[in-house]
Chains A and B, each alone.
Chain A
Amino acid sequence: MKKKVLSVLLVAAMTASMLAGCGAAKEEAAGTEEVKVEEEVQTAETEAPADEQQAEEAKNPVTLKTVSMFGGTDPNAPIYEEINKAFMEENSYITVEDNSQVSDEEWKATIAADFSVGNEPDVLQFFTDATANTIIATDKFVTVEEIKAEYPEYAKDTLDAALTAVTNTDGVSRAIPTTGYWEGLYCNKDLFDQYGVELPTDWESLTNAIAVFKENGIIPIACSLNNVPHYWIEFLMLYSAGEESYTSVPETAPAEWAAGLETFKTLRDMGAFPEDTDTVDDAYVGQLFKDKKAAMQLDGSWYLGGVTDVENTVVIPFPGVENQKAKAGALVGGMSSGFYITKKAWDDPDKRDAAVKFVMAHTNKDSVQKYWNGNGQAACAVEPIDGMSPLALSGLEYSSAASSICAPTDSRIDPEAYKIIVGGIVKVSTGELSAQDLLDEALSVNAARK
């Protein structure tokens, strides 16, 4: 009998300890409900004259849950945090609970999981292209039109073209952008001068440069085919297929797309990539370029801030491919992210105003100027910056002279389909897999998702 009693006691203790956390959560939840009821009462009271409302706001604390990709090592993180700090100082009744992280696949999966279980933030800074399709399908965002109907000042500084650029794939505008980006060919000009090579302007001069650098023990192109071949995928397909074909979404791969990707094999056979391009990562090849061990690197405007030798590095248009169809100077770039307000915040009378203020704080002209800082494209009419580095000026010159700007392939097709292309590049470059088969597989997955 004693044993039985002891066993029951032990089990009870174990169960109690397991449930302890749940109990705390319940208490917390109960507490939150109380606060909500309190807030509702206060909200009812706020339907009063404007100045009274302002006074009420001061007594009515709001906690805004925000998530962005301006976290961690992202170059925009310090500016984002600075704006948040200033915003909270200016609006003392608002507390921003920010959970920003650098954008990667795990982060995107976390965002998707949060939306699926109703744990979405009040304000989200996220992609606006096909990457956002899964969370857009949850119908948990407020449209810009709805917000503007109540807050006419919302996005007043944002250029119409920028607002149009971040329209979601279903044609509805929900996000307010800050900056856009371009992708271009970074060159260590001092290495070109040292070996008497002209900066490449077409396929012939590119192959010539590759041959000269290879002969002299310099890696011609810093690229990790195993990790980030994305920029080369885009430019090779764009220049091989031309703007019109490149921006289409066919169900089977056009021959010129495949021809573009087959250039990976041509370049690999020429020895254009690092010897260990199949095993190294993007950060490593980036360092090779910065250490002057590599002559060229195709990367985005965000890479500009990390280049140490701003005097001898230049950004030039993609030189081109054999039998190219795109116009010289065509570039890959655009705007593909912005600040969203969720319905969760919009339907809460206190949070609605705070969320709108928060987004406006990040997307007004002054903030956009800070985010832009002479790099990429600005979503507002910004002022030129004094004392820009030669590299920044080179980037600005490059993007301003673009003959056409096309958004990358991943903004049009399903993420899984795009990953198939990225994952197969090493095999295409070795000839183990044909580019046509790879693209057909990816596009069939994309077609199945429509």
Chain B
Amino acid sequence: MLYKKKSPLLVFVIPGLLFLTIFLYLPFLENIKNSCFDMTSIVKMPGSDWKYIGADNYQKLLTDKDLMVAIANSFKMMFLTVVFEVGIGFVLAILVMNIKKGQQIFRTIFFFPIVISATAIGLLFKLFYNFNGGMLNQILLGMGHEPVNWLNPQLAFVMVSIPTLWSYVGFYFVILLTGLSDISDDIYEAAEIDGCSKLKQVGYITIPLMKSVLATCVTLAVTGALKIFDLPWVIVPNGAPQGLTHFLGTYMYQVTFGMNNYDYGSVLAIVIVVMGVLISKAVGVLTAEKKERRV
């Protein structure tokens, strides 16, 4: 124990706690209060009254089809991020770890999309997908095929997911590569002497020793999927087409600032916070279980 008396520690905690209280907790409580009023403007104007509507907005949640689409898309994206972002990142990390020369080049190449802003990537892919004059359709036309509406209701989610997933593979690649470099070469050498193939080394050595790093990546990927906003908003604003590509963040933004429905937007913000807390907790519990098993 560093300190016998814990009271001095409070002194360190208070500034941060104050900051959080003022800029996070109080606005959140205000948000809960606002969700029970019919807000006519984003801030209460002097001389105007907001009508109390109780739980009307919460009842609306249950019948809101667009919200269901947004929740379903967010969950789909959570699954996809774990499989593709962490999965591909892991495969790339193992491959790069096993090459002797040029590691640094691959690190740079794979990490590069992280450096580009999501808005720029979104704009880039928007131009790829454009029906009139977009890059993909120009290629198709050049090959004598009919142009395709890449963002039609059937394809839109997939087409939005591709850049979203691609842009973050490098992030998990770097984390996992760092984790891999912590595993001692002696273990692999011993396994090789015992006749263990490269593939078996991954299954019996790498994955078990990387569990904690992988768990961290999964936590980051799942919680990150809940916060997806900028890239889909640039490629398909307003959940286009027909609200099918809404995620929780984009839907809340559209309702609040696009539709001026500030009170319902407040309820959606609460939904995002509650879901975020529950999902983080669930992932935390799963990670903790793994640690216990290892012990």
Is B258 a contact partner of A288 (Cβ separation < 8 A)? Answer: no
Q: Is A216 an interface residue (CB 8 A)?
A: no
Residues of A within 8 A of B12 (CB): 7, 10-11
Interface pairs (25), CB distance under 8 Å: A7-B12, A11-B14, A11-B15, A105-B258, A109-B42, A113-B42, A116-B44, A117-B43, A135-B45, A138-B45, A138-B48, A219-B132, A226-B238, A226-B241, A274-B131, A275-B131, A275-B149, A278-B240, A279-B240, A416-B40, A416-B261, A419-B260, A419-B261, A426-B240, A430-B242
B291 to chain A, nearest CB (A): 32
In the assembly, what is the distance between CA of A432 and CA of B241, in Å?
13
Residue of A nearest to B150 (CB): A276
Q: Is A139 an interface residue (CB 8 A)?
A: yes
Tell me if A's interface is mostly helix, strand, loop or mixed: helix
In the assembly, what is the distance between CA of A86 and CA of B144, in Å?
59
Is A426 a contact partner of B237 (Cβ separation < 8 A)? Answer: no
Given contacts A109-B42, A276-B149, contact A427 B242 (CB under 8 A): yes
Is A18 a contact partner of B15 (Cβ separation < 8 A)? Answer: yes
Is A278 a contact partner of B241 (Cβ separation < 8 A)? Answer: yes
Residues of B within 8 A of A280 (CB): 130-131
Could you list 19 further interchain pairs (A-B, Cβ under 8 angstroms) beyond the known A137-B48, A227-B237, A419-B260? A3-B8, A7-B11, A11-B14, A14-B15, A18-B15, A112-B42, A116-B41, A134-B41, A134-B45, A138-B45, A226-B241, A274-B131, A278-B242, A279-B156, A415-B260, A416-B40, A426-B242, A426-B243, A432-B242
In the assembly, what is the distance between CA of A304 and CA of B14, in Å?
59
Is B242 a contact partner of A276 (Cβ separation < 8 A)? Answer: no
Is B42 a contact partner of A423 (Cβ separation < 8 A)? Answer: no
B66 to chain A, nearest CB (A): 10
Residue of A nearest to B241 (CB): A278
Residues of A within 8 A of B149 (CB): 275-276
Residue of B nearest to A427 (CB): B242
Is B237 a contact partner of A105 (Cβ separation < 8 A)? Answer: no
B144-160 contacts to A (CB < 8 Å)? 149, 151, 153, 156
Q: Is B257 an interface residue (CB 8 A)?
A: yes
Q: Is B236 an interface residue (CB 8 A)?
A: yes
Most buried by A among B48, B130, B156: B48
Q: Is B46 an interface residue (CB 8 A)?
A: yes
Residue of B nearest to A15 (CB): B15
Residues of A within 8 A of B259 (CB): 416, 419-420, 423
Residue of B nearest to A284 (CB): B130
Is B47 a contact partner of A138 (Cβ separation < 8 A)? Answer: yes
B50 to chain A, nearest CB (A): 11
Given contacts A105-B260, A226-B240, A279-B241, contact A448 B11 (CB under 8 A): no
Chain A residues bordering chain B, tally (CB within 8 A)? 47
Most buried by B among A227, A423, A427: A423
Residues of A within 8 A of B132 (CB): 219, 274, 276, 288, 293
Binding site for A on B (CB under 8 A): 3, 8, 11-12, 14-15, 38, 40-48, 51, 130-132, 149, 151, 153, 156, 236-238, 240-243, 254, 257-261
A91-144 contacts to B (CB < 8 Å)? 105-106, 109, 112-113, 115-117, 134-135, 137-139
A225 to chain B, nearest CB (A): 9
In the assembly, what is the distance between CA of A278 and CA of B245, in Å?
12
Residues of A within 8 A of B156 (CB): 279
Is A106 a contact partner of B257 (Cβ separation < 8 A)? Answer: yes
Residue of A nearest to B65 (CB): A432
Residues of B within 8 A of A293 (CB): 132
Residues of B within 8 A of A416 (CB): 40, 259-261
Is A419 a contact partner of B38 (Cβ separation < 8 A)? Answer: no
Is B237 a contact partner of A281 (Cβ separation < 8 A)? Answer: yes
Residues of B within 8 A of A112 (CB): 41-43, 45
In the assembly, what is the distance between CA of A448 and CA of B260, in Å?
15
B11 to chain A, nearest CB (A): 5
Q: Is A48 an interface residue (CB 8 A)?
A: no
A79-95 CB mask vs B (1 if < 8 Å, else 0) is 00000000000000000
Q: Is A2 an interface residue (CB 8 A)?
A: no
In the assembly, what is the distance between CA of A48 and CA of B44, in Å?
43
A426-443 CB mask vs B (1 if < 8 Å, else 0) is 110010100000000000
Residue of A nearest to B131 (CB): A276
Is A448 a contact partner of B38 (Cβ separation < 8 A)? Answer: yes
In the assembly, what is the distance between CA of A185 and CA of B12, in Å?
66
In the assembly, what is the distance between CA of A284 and CA of B126, in Å?
11
Given contacts A275-B131, A279-B156, contact A116 B45 (CB under 8 A): yes
Q: Is A58 an interface residue (CB 8 A)?
A: no
Most buried by A among B38, B45, B149, B237: B45
Residues of A within 8 A of B46 (CB): 115-116, 137-139
Is B51 a contact partner of A7 (Cβ separation < 8 A)? Answer: no
Residues of A within 8 A of B3 (CB): 3
Residues of A within 8 A of B51 (CB): 448
Residues of A within 8 A of B14 (CB): 11
In the assembly, what is the distance between CA of A134 and CA of B51, in Å?
15
Q: Given A10, A115, A423, which contacts B258 in the complex, CB threshold below 8 Å? A: A423
In the assembly, what is the distance between CA of A430 and CA of B241, in Å?
11
Residues of A within 8 A of B131 (CB): 274-276, 280
Residue of B nearest to A281 (CB): B237
A430 to chain B, nearest CB (A): 6
Most buried by B among A8, A279, A420, A448: A279
Most buried by B among A115, A137, A448: A137
The 10 closest A-B pairs by CB, nearest first: A278-B241, A276-B131, A416-B260, A279-B151, A279-B240, A116-B43, A134-B41, A419-B259, A137-B47, A226-B240
